Amino acid sequence: MQTVQAIVNGILVGGFYASMAMGFSIVWGVMNIIDLAHGSLIIIGAYVTYELCTHLGVDPFLTIPVAAVVLFALGYVLQRYLINRVLQASIFATLILTFGLDRVLVNANLRIFSADIRGITVPYTAAALTLGDLRIPLIRLAVFGVAILSTLALWLFLERTRLGIAIKATSFDPEAARLSGIDPARIYAVTFGIGAALAGIAGALVAAVSTFSPVIGDGLTTRAFVVVVLGGLGSVPGAIAGGILLGVTENLVASVIPSFSDAAAFALLIVFLVARPRGLFGRRFYAEI
């Protein structure tokens, strides 16, 4: 029974991991930017939700669209006026830029919000679906639902809308895209904005189920990185699969020896890097830059 509960917990937390990783994955896949500030963007999303909840007393799930819009705007501006400038340079230039950006965001957050640990406890914390001994807390189910829905929405957007198709076209061949009347600089800004909006959604979920402070962003970026490697770069279903694989592995190990859960997660990462570097759903086009 405990094993089944561990698998269920792993799937639930896996959806949450997927939402943290999706924005990171699309930015990396389309523009070849490993966005080291992704964790800090998630934290900003968490603060948006936290501030709205504490000042207006609304449910954290209602603040998700606001967090997404605020972060989209921030992401769009960052890419348009800052990151686009180094896009043609080597990967090291973008790494250094996003690392520096991360430091700026962490310290700005410390200045504005202080280092106090924050979190939101909803009134329905104890509510759960039970099936015999199996227990599924409602809030965890809701987080899983939001994560899966937002990831699916992104997938539909990329497959079905003109803008989505333009993003994919630009990622495959910016020159050809330009010839077809697409402005790559604008597409990149929109893409980073979408990545940041997804970070904002993940941040709202972090605020609802966990605790956060300005300095925990690095750990979130690391988790997002692992999920992307497991699931496959730039792949929407890959983020969900990678997140769930990571969540289930961690929880299965934690149900027996909790102190090994991290070691197991990173062992899994190494196995994938050696045996299947493309990840579960990685396609050749994305990673081949």
Q: Is residue 275 within the footprint of another protein (CB under 8 A)?
A: no
Choose between 233 and 265: whose C-beta lies nearer to another protein. 265
Helices 162-172 and 138-160: crossing angle in degrees, nearest 10, is 80
Binder of another protein out of 82, 261, 269, 285 (CB under 8 A): 261
93: exposed, middle or buried (C-beta count within 10 Å: 0-12, 13-18, 19+)? middle
Residue 8 zone, left/alpha/beta (φ > 0; ψ -120 to 50; rest): alpha
In the complex, minimum distance from the CB of residue 269 to another protein, in angstroms, rounded to a whole number: 15
List alpha helices for 57-160, DSSP H: 64-81, 91-113, 138-160
Q: How far is CA 178 from the centre of its chain?
A: 29
In angstroms, what CA-CA distances link 5 with 125, 188, 210?
A: 18, 42, 20
Q: Is residue 66 within the footprint of another protein (CB under 8 A)?
A: no
Q: Is residue 270 within the footprint of another protein (CB under 8 A)?
A: no
DSSP state of 135: E
The size of the interface with another protein (CB under 8 A), counted in residues, is 50
Q: Which stretch binds another protein (CB under 8 A): 68-76, 196-204, 236-244, 257-265?
A: 257-265
d(CA 198, CA 192): 10
In the complex, minimum distance from the CB of residue 142 to another protein, in angstroms, rounded to a whole number: 12
Choose between 35 and 250: whose C-beta lies nearer to another protein. 250
Give the SS3 label for residue 128. strand
Q: Is residue 115 within the footprint of another protein (CB under 8 A)?
A: yes
Q: Is residue 121 within the footprint of another protein (CB under 8 A)?
A: yes
Quote the tokens at residue 35: 């966005």
Binder of another protein out of 11, 95, 215, 269 (CB under 8 A): 215
Q: Is residue 255 within the footprint of another protein (CB under 8 A)?
A: yes
Per-residue string for binding with another protein, 26-55, x by CB under 8 A?
---------------------------xxx
Choose between 90 and 130: whose C-beta lies nearer to another protein. 130
Residue 118 zone, left/alpha/beta (φ > 0; ψ -120 to 50; rest): beta
Binding stretches for another protein (CB under 8 A) = 1-2, 5-6, 9-10, 12-13, 53-57, 107, 110, 114-121, 125-126, 128, 130, 135, 137, 139-140, 210-213, 215-216, 219, 223, 247, 250-251, 254-255, 257-259, 261-263
